[in-house]
């Protein structure tokens, strides 16, 4: 299970090859990438099953909720029961349903779903704005040779909800973040590497397997293994990455102002580093 993170996608051909070779199923967390595609296929529909989240920060929202997508009737039937206390939905009423397995109440409400239906109609508009604003902001950062950009396996399929960019070193990246904070322009720019929620270095609850319920031994051992795992390859990438959230509401004037301020901050940091070297 990979994450099609920040509006874009994983290298899906490579993952599919690994799955086929080792007889694994491929699950797509596409919660951040609705509307994105890979070689013409919608993200979230390429693996055996995929998910979208409709929580309040996602590209489209129901307030809360999400969906599972699959082409497998068996998975669909199991998801349908699992999200609703294990009901098989074959009875003439709720009391007549049978329960082939234990489920949960992960149902989306009718009211939330109604909001979601209205949002879906706006998705194409949102995507075209995201793509336009992303491209416009990127043009400013592209003027700095030291800045590089996330490798997107299929550029045409990027939903463009974020622009993820890199500086040459961790030190420079941290300095840019500090300077953006200093100048009051940090909002909407995410340094996932140092954040308590989006990167594994701070996931002590997971690494210590701290749960309120009792885990099975297998689950617990799997989590505890993370403690001794090394993530140096990921660290090397994430310590240099800043993701800028793309707003639907920006005007051309605001993009210009934002772009110019970001470029000024980066140039200032790069110049200081050269002077101090």
Ligand X SMILES: *Cc1c(COP(=O)(O)O)cnc(C)c1O
Among 12, 31, 177, 255, binds ligand X (CB under 6 A): 31
* Site string (42-81) toward ligand X, x via CB under 6 A: -----------x-x----------x---------------
- Beta-strand runs (E) in the chain: 2-3, 27-29, 37-38, 41-42, 49-53, 66-70, 148-149, 162-166, 189-190, 241-245
Q: How far is the CB of 109 from ligand X (least distance, A)?
A: 14
> Of how many residues is the chain composed?
277
Stretch that binds ligand X, among 26-34, 35-43, 86-94, 146-154 (CB under 6 A): 26-34
Q: Which two tokens stand for residue 79?
A: 């998801």
Taking the least distance from each CB to ligand X, the nearer of 50 and 259 is 50
SS3 category, 244: strand
Q: Which stretch binds ligand X (CB under 6 A): 28-36, 96-104, 105-113, 117-125?
A: 28-36
Q: How far apart are CA 265 and CA 130, in angstroms?
A: 24
Q: What are phi and psi of 242, to 5 degrees?
A: -125, 130
Between 53 and 244, CB nearer to ligand X: 53
Q: How near is the Cβ of 52 to ligand X at its closest, in Å? A: 9
Which one of 32, 134, 161, 243 is in contact with ligand X (CB under 6 A)?
A: 32
Pick the closer one to ligand X by CB: 67 or 167.
67
Give the start-end residues of each E strand in 96-233.
Answer: 148-149, 162-166, 189-190
In whole angstroms, what is the distance from residue 193 CA to residue 234 CA? 10
Contact string 222-261 vs ligand X (x = CB under 6 A): ----------------------------------------
Indicate the helix (H) or strand (E) that contains 145: none
Interacting residue ranges for ligand X, rule: CB under 6 A? 3, 29, 31-32, 53, 55, 66
């Amino acid at each position: 299970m990979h994450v099609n993170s920040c509006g874009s996608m994983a290298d899906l051909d490579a993952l599919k090859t690994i799955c086929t070779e080792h007889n694994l199923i491929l699950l797509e967390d596409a919660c951040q990438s609705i509307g994105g595609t890979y070689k013409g296929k919608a993200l979230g529909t390429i693996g055996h099953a995929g998910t979208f989240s409709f929580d309040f920060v996602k590209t489209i929202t129901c307030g809360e909720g999400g969906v599972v997508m699959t082409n497998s009737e068996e998975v669909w039937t199991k998801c349908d029961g699992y999200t609703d206390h294990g009901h098989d939905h074959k009875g003439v009423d709720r009391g007549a349903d049978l329960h082939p397995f234990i489920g949960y109440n992960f149902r989306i409400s009718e009211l939330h779903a109604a909001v979601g239906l209205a949002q879906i109609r706006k998705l194409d508009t949102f995507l075209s704005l995201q793509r336009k604003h992303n491209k416009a902001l990127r043009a400013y950062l592209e003027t700095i040779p030291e800045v590089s950009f996330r490798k997107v396996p299929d550029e045409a399929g990027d939903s463009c909800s974020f622009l993820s960019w890199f500086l040459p070193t961790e030190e420079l990246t941290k300095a840019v973040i500090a300077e953006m904070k200093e100048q009051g322009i940090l909002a909407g720019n995410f340094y996932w590497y140092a954040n308590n929620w989006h990167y594994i270095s701070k996931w002590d609850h997971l690494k210590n397997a701290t749960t309120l319920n009792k885990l099975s031994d297998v689950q617990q051992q799997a989590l505890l293994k993370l403690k001794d795992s090394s993530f140096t390859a990921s660290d090397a990438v994430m310590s240099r990455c800043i993701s800028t959230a793309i707003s639907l509401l920006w005007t051309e004037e605001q993009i210009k102002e934002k772009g110019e301020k970001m470029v000024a901050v980066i140039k200032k940091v790069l110049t200081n580093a050269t002077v101090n070297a």
